[in-house]
C-alpha cells in the first residue's frame, strides 16, 4: 500500500541529525508541520509522523506528552526514533507506548548496516565460538555522548543471536590492565572517538589462522535521515506496534 500524504515533525531539530532530516525533507518536497528542541511544548495535532534523533529522555518525554492523543486519529501517529543510549529499562518503557502509536526504533537507519546485521548473524552461527572470537569496533565523531554506539550494540545482538546466547552474558565493553586471557565466546567492543567521523563499524571474526572482517562506513548523515523518512512512510501503512528497520526493509 502506498503511504498516504504525510506531515512530518522533527524532534531535536537543532542537532546534527535534526538538521540532516530537515535538509532531506526539504529536498524531497515533504511537508514539515512542526519542529521541536529542548524546552518546547509538543503539539502533534497537525502531524502524521515524528522523526526523533535526540536523547533517550527526550524521546520518552515526547511519547509521554502525546500519550492518548493518537487514539482519536484515523491512522496511528508514527514515531521514528533514532536516539541511542537507551538503558534496558528505558527500552521497556518505549515499548509500552506502542499500544496506540507506530514506533519504529533503530540504532541505525542505513540499508548497509541492516544488511550487515544479517550477514553477521549468519557468520556467527556458522563459525564455532571455541575457534572464532568476535569483536565489534566502532568509530565516531568527538561529540558523540554514548558508547558503545547503538549500531555496535545491534551488531553485538546479531552476533549473539547467531550463537544462540544472550549478549549481556558475553558482552565485554572495556579492557584495561591485567584482564586475563580472552574467554571463548565473549563478544568484545572497542570504541574510537575523534574529529568528525560520521560512523564506522566493523565486526572482526578471528580464528588462529584467519580473520574475517565485515564492515560498514557511513559517509554522510543524510544517509540516516533518508532511512528514517523511508521508515516513517512505511509506518503510515502499519498498525500500532513496535517495529525496527529490519521490518521496514523486509529483512
Ligand atoms: N539511528 C540512527 O541511524 C542514528 C542515530 N543517531 C543518534 O541520534 C541522536 C542525536 O544525534 P546528533 O544529532 O548527532 O546529536 P546532537 O546532540 O547534535 O542533537 C540532539 C539534539 O536533541 C536536542 N535535545 C536534547 N534534549 C531534548 C529534549 N528534551 N527535547 C527536544 N530536543 C532535545 C539537543 O539539544 P541540546 O544540544 O540543547 O541538548 C540537540 O539539538 C544520538 O543519540 C545519536 O546516537 C545519530 C545518527 C544516526
Ligand atoms: O551519534 C552518531 O553520530 C551516530 N549514532 C548512531 C549509533 O549510535 O550507532 C548511528 C551512527 O553510527 C551515527
**Tens-place pLDDT, residues 57-103:** 999 999 998 887 766 788 999 999 999 999 999 999 999 999 989 99
C-alpha span between 25 and 20 (Å, rounded): 9
Residue 179, domain member (yes or no): yes
Give the three-state DSSP class for 170. Answer: helix
11 C-alpha to ligand 1 centroid (Å): 8
Residues 132 and 83 in one domain: no
Domain limits for position 230: 7-109+221-249
Q: Known binder of ligand: residue 241?
A: no
> Is 139 domain-assigned?
yes
Kindly report the protein residue whose alpha carbon is nearest to atom 10 of ligand 2. Answer: 108
**At 69, is the secondary structure helix, strand, or coil?**
helix
172 plus 48 within the same structural domain: no
pLDDT tens per residue, range 29-60 = 999 999 999 999 998 989 999 999 999 999 99
Q: According to the annotation, is 109 in a ligand binding site?
A: yes
Q: What is the pLDDT of residues 125-171, one digit of tens each?
A: 999 999 999 999 999 999 999 999 999 999 999 999 999 999 999 99
Is residue 151 in some structural domain? Answer: yes
pTM: 0.97
Residue 149 Cβ contacting ligand 2 at under 6 Å: yes
Average pLDDT over residues 235-243: 97
SS3 at position 183:
coil
Is the per-residue pLDDT at 224 higher than 70? Answer: yes
What total of structural domains would you count in the chain? 2
125 C-alpha to center of ligand 2: Å? 26
Residue 225 and residue 103 share a domain: yes
Give alpha helix (H) positions in 53-210: 56-66, 88-96, 111-126, 150-162, 167-170
Amino acid at each position: 500500500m502506498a503511504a498516504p500524504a504525510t506531515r512530518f515533525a522533527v524532534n531535536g531539530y537543532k542537532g546534527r541529525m535534526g538538521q540532516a532530516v530537515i535538509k532531506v525533507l526539504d529536498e524531497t518536497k515533504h511537508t514539515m508541520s512542526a519542529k521541536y528542541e529542548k524546552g518546547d511544548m509538543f503539539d502533534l495535532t497537525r502531524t502524521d509522523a515524528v522523526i526523533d534523533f535526540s536523547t533517550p529522555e527526550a524521546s520518552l518525554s515526547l511519547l509521554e506528552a502525546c500519550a492518548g492523543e493518537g487514539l482519536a486519529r484515523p491512522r496511528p501517529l508514527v514515531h521514528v526514533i533514532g536516539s541511542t543510549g537507551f538503558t534496558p529499562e528505558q527500552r521497556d518503557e518505549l515499548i509500552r507506548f506502542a499500544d496506540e502509536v507506530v514506533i519504529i526504533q533503530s540504532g541505525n537507519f542505513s540499508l548497509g548496516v541492516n544488511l550487515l546485521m544479517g550477514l553477521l548473524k549468519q557468520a556467527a552461527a556458522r563459525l564455532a565460538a571455541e575457534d572464532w572470537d568476535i569483536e565489534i569496533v566502532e568509530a565516531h565523531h568527538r561529540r558523540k555522548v554514548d558508547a558503545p554506539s547503538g549500531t555496535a550494540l545491534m551488531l553485538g545482538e546479531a552476533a549473539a543471536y547467531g550463537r544462540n546466547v544472550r549478549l549481556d552474558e558475553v558482552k565485554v565493553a572495556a579492557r584495561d590492565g591485567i584482564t586475563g586471557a580472552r574467554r571463548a565466546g565473549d563478544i568484545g567492543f572497542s570504541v574510537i572517538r575523534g574529529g568528525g567521523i560520521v560512523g564506522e563499524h566493523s565486526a572482526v571474526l578471528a580464528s588462529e589462522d584467519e580473520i574475517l572482517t565485515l564492515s560498514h562506513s557511513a559517509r554522510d548523515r543524510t544517509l540516516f535521515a533518508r532511512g528514517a523518512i523511508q521508515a516513517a512512510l512505511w509506518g503510515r501503512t502499519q498498525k500500532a506496534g513496535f517495529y525496527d528497520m529490519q521490518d521496514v526493509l523486509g529483512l
